[in-house]
Structure 1
Amino acid sequence: MPLLTFTDRGIYCERADVYIDPWKPVDRALLTHGHADHSRWGNKYYLTTRTAAPVINYRLGDIKIETVEFGEVKTINGVKFSFHPAGHIIGSAQIRVEYKGEIWVASGDYKLEDDGLSEAYEPIKCQHFITESTFGLPVYRWVPQEEVFADINDWWRANKEDGKVSVITAYALGKAQRLLEGLDPEIGTIYTHGAIENTNEVIRAQGIKLNDTVRVTKDVNKKDYPGNIVMATPGAVGQPWMKKFGQARVGAASGWMTLRGARRRRGADRGFVLSDHCDWPALLEAIALTEANNIYVTHGYTAIFSKHLRGLGLNAVELETEYEGELAEIESKAEPSESAENAGK
């Protein structure tokens, strides 16, 4: 039997009796990161990285959680587990699993571009590599993030000159903090939706410095918003919460902005192509760096990407899982504070 198997509860290591990012409740769960499709409530015991744990605790509530440092080896019934940077969001990890020379890596979600905020991606050599394919089509090719941030800041400046409020959407964990660090605070004030600010507070409490922000509340004078920028969750667009900003201009930052029509579907005037996942070339590069011959594709364009990998001579298979990649992060259910915020408080 292989060291890891794929079950109806998640990725399972029978010898250690643990699951990686399970989507149904289990006794022991090893989590790659805190996004909702990878960290779910109901497990008896959690293990994750020290920097991922605070947000997971915030999102899941009263849970029994243990942490490890990146690179630290934890041995369970002879199986060696270690967590290595995935570069996706703060604290995100790939989980390396080794037993008697057999090595697997479950990558969770990952990106190769160093955003300066998340721990930078670390390639891990293995025989078996479990990968996403959220953007596993040749059409998805990112430009350097510096160029995207320059475009966003230019858009904000132009809106300011027109006396408009700029609203840019981002999921509360990961993309929001990355955008926050890319915004130029010299242009004006950065306001935040409550769900985003709650996450910012958890991250700041870890000693991680972020640009200054002001929470959107009913106490802020509506006249203070024009010329400034508001970071909102995608779910807030079109809700009563938005009325306080008047005729705002809405931007959306996502890898999906590559596709025609995606901006319109997300209620945005302007789309910026920025993703916390790999594009097509980076996916192929990451797989090559592992030197693995056996590739397991868990979510995204699984059929097309697996077929391409087989054409390269790799043993690639597609798997049915409940991971959703950036779609889950953009269209996720409300954060604990978000329902009240969207109600227009």
Structure 2
Amino acid sequence: MTGDVLTFTDKGIYCPSGDFYIDPWRPVPRALITHGHADHARAGHGSYLATDLAAPVLKFRLGNIPLQTVPYGQTVMVGSAAVSFHPAGHVPGSAQIRVEVGGEVWVVSGDYKTEDDGLSTAFVPLPCHAFISECTFGLPVFRWAQQTEIAAEISDWWKGCAAQGRTAVLGCYSLGKAQRLLSMLDPCQGPILCHAAIEGTNDVLRGQGLPLHQTTRATAEVSAKTHPGALLLAPPSAMAGTWLRRFGPVSTAFASGWMALRGVRRRRAADRGFIISDHADWSGLNTAIDATGAERVFVTHGYTDVFSRWLTSRGIDAQIVPTQFGEIEDDTQTPPQNEPSA
């Protein structure tokens, strides 16, 4: 599959005019990175270009990489391609990448959500000729409630846990979801504890000025006895660990868009599931695509078959692009089949 601006290869999305790849999954000489999640930002590339807001997390996760940065909206020439990064609203520093060659504009969405979460820079739709869009939640069943409603649900659950003498343990991804939850919750309700993987990311984001509530790192000295009535944020990969014993008795929950599916809630075997995602829901995907005015739409990772057929039924030239996005999960969480990170 080829195009005048971008092509799709076994290494990733490639721009011949600029000789670069966008979020490549194999080592390449030059990589442009939309955000810091592990399925989009991988080690081993010769050079990296990302937003200045994403840089601290990228260095935290990937080490001393050869990284150049650019602020949102500033155009740089990479070869003969004009490139700029624009807010995606997914996690702090996340970006869509706009590529223009010979007057033709293509936009790679990366991961995105259209709801302003008050923490990430809000999504901005970009007019383009071709739009490469994720469709992680590309089914009509996925429609998100307002963030304030979810915050109230989590708060009530936390209060109930404290009244029962239980530690509330909430599974969430360490980059993006954990910080969003922190911004939603009232720290006056009780102590908020964080697994080391989450607290390490909190420290990085606080260092670049994000206003996150005070939290306590869940070290070996921290327990239900030292912090009664606490809420503990932990990555999904740590939810079944023996380290939770010192916080017992506990009540467990997951915060994810996949909680909208009953089968997923049962398999996760948690007491509660809170439906909240850093990806666009069905309405958000459609609204974002319509706003681009794109003549062609390429859909990646998620319910690509269903969503591409839907777009085609609306008269949009839609095609599926196989990628490896969603195959490496943040926090090494193994998702249900065909269900990337939430």
2:138 aligned partner:
136
The answer to whether the 8 Å contact 1:237/1:267 transfers is: no
* Map of 1:93 onto structure 2: 95
Gaps of 5+ in 1: 334-345
Aligned mate of 2:287, from 285, 288, 297: 285
- 1:244 Cα offset (Å): 1.0
The answer to whether the Cα contact below 8 Å between 2:22 and 2:32 also exists between their aligned partners in 1 is: yes
Residue of structure 1 in register with 2:301 after alignment: 299
Question: Structure 1 residue aligned with 2:109, among 102, 107, 110?
Answer: 107
Equivalent-residue separation in structure 1 for 2:264 and 2:187 (angstroms): 28
Corresponding residue for 1:5? 7
Question: Quick check: 2:299–2:319 contact (8 Å CA) kept in 1?
Answer: yes
Match of 1:176 in 2: 178
Structure 2 length normalisation: TM-score?
0.95
1:158-237 mapped onto 2 (5 Å cutoff): 158-237=160-239
CA contact (8 A) 2:17 2:101 kept: no
Percent of residue pairs identical: 52
Matching residue within 18, 22, 25 for 1:23? 25
Q: Cα RMSD between the aligned structures? A: 1.3
- Structure 2 partner of 1:268: 270
Structure 1 residues 291-313: Cα deviation after superposition (integer angstroms, max 9, x where no partner): 00100011100011001000000
Instruction: Find the counterpart in structure 1 of residue 50 from structure 2.
Output: 48
Q: Is the contact made by 1:170 and 1:330 (CA closer than 8 Å) also made in structure 2?
A: no
Q: Which residue of 2 aligns with 1:343?
A: none
Residues 27-60 of structure 1: per-residue CA shift (max 9 Å, x gap): 0000000000000000010000001011011101
Structure 2 counterpart of 1:191, which letter? L
The DSSP-based 3-state class of the residue aligned with 2:144 is: coil
> Within 2, Cα distance between the matches of 1:160 and 1:243?
17
Q: Which amino acid aligns with 2:228?
A: P
Give the TM-score of the pair, scaled to structure 1: 0.94
**What one-letter code is carried by the residue in structure 2 that aligns with 1:98?**
E
Structure 1, residues 1-41: CA drift from partner, whole Å, max 9, x if none?
52100000000001110000000000000000000000000
Q: In 2, distance between residues paired with 1:19 and 1:273?
A: 33
Check if 1:251 corresponds to 2:281.
no
Could you say what secondary structure the match of 1:181 adopts?
A: helix
Residue equivalent to 2:329: 328
The aligned residue for residue 155 of structure 2 is 153
Tell me, yes or no, if the aligned pair for 1:36 and 1:332 is still in contact at 8 Å.
no
Rounded to whole Å, the distance in 2 between the matches of 1:284 and 1:207 is: 33
Q: Answer yes or no: is the 8 Å Cα contact 1:86–1:107 preserved in 2.
A: yes
- Residue 221 of structure 1 and its aligned partner are, at CA, apart by 4.5
Q: Give, in whole Å, the separation in 2 of the partners of 1:114 and 1:203.
A: 18
Count of residues paired in the alignment: 332
**Unaligned segments of structure 2, at least 5 residues:** 335-342
Amino acid paired to 1:248: V
Distance 1:8 1:233 in 2: 30
